[in-house]
Chain A
């Protein structure tokens, strides 16, 4: 039992780190544009298919395929933002959220139209699990973990050391003040959506690498993404990372107790409990 708990925590660390990638995307879009983008699941699906297309159809290596997953999902996110969601800005965040839900349906079904419902596996070599005493981990898991971690490091550096990164944080913190300081809100919003959507795309591809890409890849992910972002406090990037790690480990631990199908319900249970105690999440802003 002891080792199975450690194994579950190890799996949770890996899946939580992967989950953090789309959760950062979701929460970053919320931080700057002030609405929950429900298309995030479909954007993850688009990333999974873009990565699969590059890897299997075009024969690219995985590293380059991640690039196409990021670009494809990022561009889709930006197009949807400009064409559908942005024009509703004056009607309020909830209308934009509902619109993003409709956008998600359109995007998911465009993927279904193009590629059908069959699962699409990636072209990755089968490798033996690495054993460490009673623990086991697959090389693919290690690679996915490394990609997710590297991406987060890159993002952290970009947010802290580049002009645009600082402009994004300033806009999230206080849009009026940022504007006063010469930050272009439209540019910041566009880049946030591009990067946020791209991160969702990479998240989708990371998940699909473990199993396969299908039109519901992203949809299966969204409850955990929401749970991670809400748990950490909507709009907080460190919160989303911590939330994702907690949700990832909680999901893996409950597999020991409950039917694996309940994995996605765990995130929901965790956020209900946390929100009942702290209505703005762990790192959320206090007032509305």
Chain B
């Protein structure tokens, strides 16, 4: 039972990373990334392939995941950032499916639908219970660190410019903000964070396969961010833990319902997830911890109009 709880908390940490990714792209820049799970998968594959088959040390594998996430994020933005928001949503959704198709079909590259088993662990699995505890510490530290980083970015002039782009990109452009560059930066960094989360998750579960990267994962992260607070990194962090708690709750609830088959139980869980997102959007669209209005620092107001 304790091991189970630790496992769940590690997974929650991975989702906290994904939630930071979505906070950066959607919360701050207003870019709806419906292909989040695609970047998650790319990171997982990059690190798994380089460490398992290439024999690279794990830190280099993680670095490869981050860089590949950054690069693919940039590629997706280059072709889509001049488009309207709704086009971006559609293209990113398609992108994640293409990633899954390539992962399933390019057997020579990715191992096909069998996936990659036996992905090396970050720390020796032989440590037994301590392995999971140490992983919990590593993943939690990483999630908190990323949360602080995104929080810092959000409060920086760069983050303010991003929010200006989110609110009204024409006004932001008139004010001299490089709108497309800002969007590309936010989207690519967000993609890199998602890729890092994927790499960590792959190393932790030791298994990477196309079937893991279902579009439902993207929905989970949207649920986490909406629950916690769109545009507020701390809110997204808390939201990820709420999400995992909720997912576990639905597991128990689905098991309690008498006389339904495993397929029906799984369907019930997904229905509850969908309903939760619909209800949240309706009742508490800003989440538990809404984004706060930023005030300009005291004393700078009269001259604060520069930049």
Report chain A residues within 8 Å CB of B270: 105-106, 108-109, 112
Q: Contact: A105 with B273, CB < 8 Å?
A: yes
Q: How far is the CA of A101 from the CA of B216 in the complex (A)?
A: 10
B220–chain A nearest beta-carbon distance, Å: 10
Report chain B residues within 8 Å CB of A240: none
Q: Contact: B82 with A113, CB < 8 Å?
A: no
Q: Contact: A88 with B281, CB < 8 Å?
A: yes
Cβ of A264 under 8 Å from chain B? yes
Report chain A residues within 8 Å CB of B275: 102, 106
Closest B residue to A288 using CB positions:
B84
Cβ of A116 under 8 Å from chain B? yes
Contact of A265 among B101, B219, B261, B273 (CB under 8 A): B101
A261 touching B101 in the complex, CB below 8 Å, given contacts A95-B281, A116-B261: yes
Contact of A94 among B86, B95, B98, B268 (CB under 8 A): B86
A103 touching B97 in the complex, CB below 8 Å, given contacts A94-B85, A98-B222, A230-B90: no
A67–chain B nearest beta-carbon distance, Å: 27
Cβ of A117 under 8 Å from chain B? yes
Total residues of chain A contacting the partner, CB 8 A? 46
Q: How far is the CA of A223 from the CA of B100 in the complex (A)?
A: 13
Interface window among A3-11, A53-61, A269-277: A269-277
Q: Contact: A112 with B267, CB < 8 Å?
A: yes
Q: How far is the CA of A36 from the CA of B87 in the complex (A)?
A: 9
Proximity bits, A100-124, B CB within 8 Å = 1, else 0: 0111111011101100110000000
Q: Contact: B101 with A36, CB < 8 Å?
A: no
A271 touching B281 in the complex, CB below 8 Å, given contacts A105-B273, A264-B101: no
Closest A residue to B90 using CB positions:
A226
Q: How far is the CA of A117 from the CA of B262 in the complex (A)?
A: 11
Proximity bits, A22-46, B CB within 8 Å = 1, else 0: 0000000010000110100000000
Proximity bits, B129-171, A CB within 8 Å = 1, else 0: 0000000000000000000000000000000000000000000
Q: Contact: A113 with B87, CB < 8 Å?
A: no
Cβ of A87 under 8 Å from chain B? yes
A-B residue pairs, 9 tightest by C-beta: A106-B274, A105-B274, A102-B277, A109-B267, A113-B267, A268-B94, A112-B267, A109-B270, A102-B274
Chain B positions within 8 Å of A, measured between CB atoms, are 30, 32, 34, 79-80, 82-87, 89-91, 93-95, 97-98, 101-102, 104-105, 216, 219, 222, 261, 263-264, 266-268, 270-271, 273-275, 277-278, 281-282, 285
**27 CB-based A-B contacts, threshold 8 Å:** A84-B278, A91-B285, A93-B85, A93-B86, A94-B32, A95-B281, A95-B285, A97-B86, A98-B222, A99-B278, A101-B34, A102-B277, A105-B273, A106-B274, A106-B275, A113-B271, A226-B94, A227-B94, A230-B87, A261-B104, A261-B105, A265-B102, A271-B94, A272-B80, A275-B80, A280-B84, A288-B84
